[in-house]
Amino acid sequence: MDQTRHTRVFLVDDHEVTRYGIVALLETAPDLEVVGEASSVREALVRVPAACPDVAVLDIRLPDGNGIELCRDLRAQLPGLRCLMLTSFADHEALFDAIVAGANGFTLKEALASDVVDAIRTIGAGGSLLDPKTTTGLLRWLYRQQEQIDPVHRLSEPERMVLELIGEGLTNRQIAERLHARERTVKSHVSKLLEKLDMQRRTQAAAFAARLRQDDHSRGMQF
């Protein structure tokens, strides 16, 4: 009697050729069993719970919605379900949203057949999967998003201190005295922070610092 534990896999993709290729691939793996297919969000919401798979392979883009929302909805119904997102290209915003939705990993449609099988096995066994290239790209995207939300994030600690004191109306000489630094060093920090904040004049930095202080005060925080 075969004691091999099969990982039950459900495939959701609107491209029939893609589904056919992945199904044919998984049929060659003795430990993986395809228990169903769907080509849309609507079909998947009905068929996946009925099939009770261990892993759902979900295309991120579907004709009547997307795999990210589908992942969230399916995991709400089936908390133990593991989701592998299938995508044609590394859309970092979509990948981040998928992580928040509870996805356990990603694989590109252009990946090697062996990589797809390994990804399903890894996720089916309780692991998570982000390939190094995707992880690097996603982290860079998150860093850029953080910079857009919080431009002060770009500044070094000395530059932040100088910006705060500019906001208090201090001159370079007064800032140098306050920080026990050379005035030339302060001037260098001012030039760098203006460049990083994409500002031309010191008055812009002063107004910006004052606004930050006001916002932080309203939130009960320090600059």
Question: Is the pLDDT confidence value at 109 over 80?
Answer: no
Structure tokens at 46: 């009905």
pLDDT tens-digit map of 23-45: 998 988 999 999 999 999 999 99
pLDDT score recorded for residue 219: 46
Helix axes 67-77 and 41-51, enclosed angle (nearest 10)? 30
pLDDT score recorded for residue 89: 62
pTM: 0.58
For 87, what's the count of Cα atoms within 13 Å in the CB-facing half-sphere?
Answer: 22
- Give the separation between CA 20 and CA 192, rounded to whole angstroms: 56
Cβ-contact 109, 84 below 8 angstroms: no
> What is the rounded average pLDDT of the residues 192-211?
85
pLDDT score recorded for residue 144: 56
Question: Is the pLDDT confidence value at 222 over 90?
Answer: no
Cβ-contact 157, 167 below 8 angstroms: no
Q: Return mean pLDDT, the chain.
A: 81
pLDDT tens-digit map of 127-152: 876 655 555 555 565 455 554 545 67
Lowest mean pLDDT among 57-71, 82-96, 138-152: 138-152
pLDDT score recorded for residue 130: 64
Within 10 Å of residue 89's Cβ, how many Cβ atoms? Answer: 9
Within 10 Å of residue 115's Cβ, how many Cβ atoms? Answer: 14
